[in-house]
Amino acid sequence: MMRRGQRLLLLLGLLASGVQAGDYPIQPQQIAPGSWAVIADTGYFTPANGGFLVNSAFIATGDGVVVIGSGPSRAFGEQYRRVIQATAGQPVRELLITHKHPDHFLGNQAFADVAILADARTTAMLQSEADGLAENLYRLVGDRMQGTEPRLPDTLLQPGMHPVGQRQLEFIAAPGHTQSDIAVFDHSSGVLYAIDQVFNGRTPTMPNADIASWLQSLDRLEALPFKLLVPGHGPVARDAGPIRATRRYLQWLDATLRAAANRGLTSNEVMQLPLPAEFASWAEARDEWRRSVGFLYGRYEQAALGALDTP
Ligand SMILES: [Zn+2]
């Protein structure tokens, strides 16, 4: 237990840094003129991190701020909005939801007065799944979710050019991490926001993944003339390294699950398989591998059985 003196020092430290008890450590990092990324912890959902595990970003366009992702909770969204206003010095104009995962949209309540954009497929999925996704996060994160309710996107996002103020933004359909994912390429700054199509030093999450279409999307993103890459998880990069690493992981995962199914391994046996050194060093490597086997292995077993049935 903390001694009184230590508690007092901690409290003074928090006051000095302007952090209030319960606040999320939101520290925008300027990545280009008028462009900021907020880089999150790379762990898994816990009460301690309050579900703040995913990167988000915001862009001052000269005609209001475009925000990419609202975070995991109402409290996060409210704090994030204050940080954006203070950092960018312009009011928020619109919020983009890149895909349906709950830690990207459960801060939407704090942006209820601006347009909340998502593509047609993600919007449709959120209409039926948002409550369940939110419940899941309540179960994992607890208290800091208080007062959080899913608020659905209200404006249709169309892939293609999206000029705003002085910015030429492009929305790019890049599915595979989920059934529908949108990347944002800012032609004006050269920044590519690939949230969650690209992971950097953190094991990709697979609950809704389609590996074949994810790989195609990575090829499309790598072909863009970007100068800076903001991944969904992990630090900002200056080259395509994280795109290639995400691709290598997906290819390894696909080949490993297929070979295991052909050998007739049980999912428990697959979960015990060794991870290559490159991927074993990533955050959440072993736990995420186990979860991925749980999500995906049944399909590979089915395919292996189907191949046996074919005369
Ligand atoms: Zn995601």
* Structure confidence by residue, pLDDT tens digits, 56-69: 999 999 999 999 99
- Per-residue three-class SS string for the chain: CCCHHHHHHHHHHHHHCCCCCCCCCCCEEEEECCEEEECCCCCCCCCCCCCCCCCEEEEECCCCEEEECCCCCHHHHHHHHHHHHHHHCCCEEEEECCCCCHHHCCCHHHHCCCEEEECHHHHHHHHHHHHHHHHHHHHHHHHHHCCCCCCCCCEECCCEEEEECCEEEEEEECCCCCCCCEEEEECCCCEEEEEEEEECCECCCCCCCCHHHHHHHHHHHHCCCCCEEEEEECCCECCCHHHHHHHHHHHHHHHHHHHHHHHCCCHHHHHHCCCCHHHHCCECHHHHHHHHHHHHHHHHHHHHHHHHHCC
As residues whose CB is below 5 A from the ion ligand 1, the structure lists: 101, 196
Q: Residue 310 — pLDDT band, cuts 50, 70, 90?
A: low
| pLDDT in the model for residue 1 | 39
Tell how far the Cα of 205 is from the centroid of ligand 1, in angstroms: 7
CA distance 279 to 154: 39
In a domain, 281, yes or no: no
In a domain, 121, yes or no: yes
Tell how far the Cα of 188 is from the centroid of ligand 1, in angstroms: 26
| pLDDT in the model for residue 19 | 43
In a domain, 120, yes or no: yes
Mean pLDDT, the chain, integer:
91
| Count of structural domains, the chain | 1
| pLDDT in the model for residue 81 | 97
Tell how far the Cα of 86 is from the centroid of ligand 1, in angstroms: 27
Host domain of residue 74: 23-240
In a domain, 75, yes or no: yes
In a domain, 10, yes or no: no
The residue that leads in pLDDT, 107 or 142, is 107
Tell how far the Cα of 101 is from the centroid of ligand 1, in angstroms: 5
In a domain, 67, yes or no: yes
Tell how far the Cα of 147 is from the centroid of ligand 1, in angstroms: 22
pLDDT at 157 over 70: yes
The average pLDDT across 120-139 equals 91
Q: Which amino acid belongs to residue 245?
A: A
CATH code, domain carrying 45: 3.60.15.10
Tell how far the Cα of 99 is from the centroid of ligand 1, in angstroms: 7
* Structure confidence by residue, pLDDT tens digits, 218-256: 999 999 999 999 999 999 999 999 999 999 999 999 999
Tell how far the Cα of 2 is from the centroid of ligand 1, in angstroms: 36
Tell how far the Cα of 199 is from the centroid of ligand 1, in angstroms: 10
Q: Residue 79 — pLDDT band, cuts 50, 70, 90?
A: very high
CA distance 109 to 307: 49
Tell how far the Cα of 166 is from the centroid of ligand 1, in angstroms: 29
In a domain, 248, yes or no: no
